């Protein structure tokens, strides 16, 4: 068995993508396997034109409404790419000022600030939530794994920004129900060792996938 592979199974009677972990693999290994799914027009994608199209140039485009708190690796890479310090990056026009005031590092949405002509202008650096979201059915344990990786990465950004004095976690501002849910989750994740992995890592290669997998994957 390979150290990591994707397979197609069935979830709630529908074809679904699953992950098999057979050895030591990193988040980067999973990203490398996952990327072709975005470019695969054979897959059934709920919102793609005709349900079978690549994500590139998609007119429905999940980036129009995505709620993105970048994971810490992506956050640092985007700031470096823009030649900005973390403070400058957060103060520039890329983040939702109202949410920042409330202590949430949410990128400017509706559409995402980085969306240009229906294409992501920072595609290779985009956050994990952007990389892993495809509007396909996922096997339950696969969904849980992706969820756990993405939330840990986003929580690490929040913690990093707090630790560096870049945001006030107790800030006040208008909060939606999703913001409140995130804040609650943030408290749950705050002392999670998986968040520490993101805080200590230089890149996705440094983060072992096994830290996020349920025993049955």
Among 95, 114, 182, 198, binds ligand SF4 (CB under 6 A): 114
Q: Scanning residues 62 to 101, which ones bind ligand SF4 (CB under 6 A)?
A: 62-63, 66, 68
CB of 92 to ligand SF4, least distance (A): 15
Query: How many CB atoms are closer than 10 A to CB 215?
Result: 5
Among 4, 19, 72, 130, binds ligand SF4 (CB under 6 A): 130
Residue found under tokens 């996922």: 138
Handedness of CA 11, 6, 54, 147 (dihedral sign): positive
The closest alpha carbon to 164, from 81, 91, 99, 107, belongs to 91
Handedness of CA 97, 119, 203, 152 (dihedral sign): positive
CB of 48 to ligand SF4, least distance (A): 4
CB of 154 to ligand SF4, least distance (A): 13
Among 26, 61, 152, 154, binds ligand SF4 (CB under 6 A): 61
CB-nearer residue toward ligand SF4: 119 or 175: 119
CB of 78 to ligand SF4, least distance (A): 8
């Amino acid at each position: 068995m390979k150290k990591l592979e994707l397979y197609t199974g069935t979830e709630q009677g529908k074809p679904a993508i699953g992950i098999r972990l057979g050895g030591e693999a990193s988040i980067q290994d999973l990203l490398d396997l996952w990327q072709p799914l975005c470019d695969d027009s054979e897959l059934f994608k709920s919102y793609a034109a005709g349900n079978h199209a690549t994500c590139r140039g998609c007119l429905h485009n999940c980036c129009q409404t995505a709620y993105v708190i970048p994971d810490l690796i992506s956050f640092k890479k985007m700031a470096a790419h823009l030649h900005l310090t973390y403070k400058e990056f957060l103060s520039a026009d890329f983040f939702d000022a109202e949410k920042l005031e409330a202590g949430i590092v949410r990128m400017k949405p509706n559409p995402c600030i980085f969306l240009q002509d229906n294409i992501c202008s920072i595609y290779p650096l985009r956050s994990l939530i952007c990389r892993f979201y495809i509007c396909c059915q996922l096997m339950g344990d696969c969904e849980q794994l992706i969820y756990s990786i993405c939330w840990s990465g986003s929580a690490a950004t929040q913690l990093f920004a707090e630790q560096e004095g870049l945001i006030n976690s107790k800030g006040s501002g208008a909060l939606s129900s999703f913001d409140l849910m995130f804040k609650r989750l943030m408290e749950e994740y705050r002392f999670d060792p998986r968040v520490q992995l993101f805080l200590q890592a230089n890149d996705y290669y440094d983060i072992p996938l096994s830290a996020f997998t349920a025993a049955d994957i």
